[in-house]
Structure 1
């Protein structure tokens, strides 16, 4: 095998770079384990909804006046021919407040995970209809909800624990 002195260092440098890239890729894969990714995804989706939900309550099952006023006077549904006011704003505010507390809690716990993801996807659609200019953040929420719905809860969840305790066969999440 004959090579000129000019090509040997270039080949070694290329192999060295490939080795560094391969090692970095392996570290990234090791850090981004699917169960950890699913947990972080669930928490990341839960946080903005939880924070919004907490602001709507002043006591157990008692909405504050601001929440009802927002749905009565400020928030509108931006549909064709609209915008239109929310129907039954007190009921919608109550349901939104409940959803913003219950669904994120379920996500963080990993309980009824896919259903919680679906619920937050529906809420995201309603938020988008209410605040159409917020689409850059809403599309990230929708993407996270869809990923949760598709990939499930992972092993770091109560869903996984309940499946194991019940002796049910584990399905790929």
Structure 2
């Protein structure tokens, strides 16, 4: 019986050592800097793609974008749904933010502020498309992670010393 306990204890130590080696390898691959870059890019892509679809040319918003904000999109607030106020202005602001904020995120410039802007947009999108919460909560979590942990070392903010946190 002593041999069985000794054998089990030795096997457990071997498994623990194997798990620790695997964890060390994964820590080398998934560095904080790479993780933060992946978060920034992952959050930037859906907003960028949406923003690109709103424009026909430089500062030329397409008709579909304005139409969506004037007739299709509604704010689902208590007592609502409500129309968006000034749909042309909201469409322009939304389209501009969906282009500029992802660029800032990918570059890592004014990163926390860009993530906050996309968090606010996510909240408005949630009010517009309430059934989309599974995706929206993911965007919100990514934005909050970027705001909490910063841009990381692979970012202009880090290189110019603009983000010490």
Verify same fold: TM over 0.5.
Answer: yes
C-alpha displacement of 1:4:
2.2
In our comparison, the structure showing a higher alpha carbon Rg is: 1
Consecutive unaligned residues of structure 1, counting only runs of 5 or more, are none
Q: What CA deviation, in whole Å up to 9, does each residue of 1:142-173 have, x standing for no partner?
A: 1111111111111111111212xxxx8x72x3
Equivalent residue pairs, number:
165
C-alpha displacement of 1:8:
2.3
Q: How does 1:1-173 map to 2 (within 5 A)?
A: 4-163=2-161, 171=164, 173=165
C-alpha displacement of 1:41:
0.5
- How large is the Cα RMSD of the aligned pairs? 1.3
C-alpha displacement of 1:25:
1.3
In structure 1, C-alpha distance between the alignment counterparts of 2:5 and 2:78, rounded to whole Å: 66
C-alpha displacement of 1:79:
0.3
TM-score, normalised via structure 2 length:
0.96
Q: What CA deviation, in whole Å up to 9, does each residue of 1:77-112 have, x standing for no partner?
A: 000000001010010000000000000000000000
Q: What CA deviation, in whole Å up to 9, does each residue of 1:42-100 have, x standing for no partner?
A: 00000000000000000000011111110011000000000001010010000000000
TM-score, normalised via structure 1 length:
0.92
In structure 1, C-alpha distance between the alignment counterparts of 2:3 and 2:143, rounded to whole Å: 56
Consecutive unaligned residues of structure 2, counting only runs of 5 or more, are none
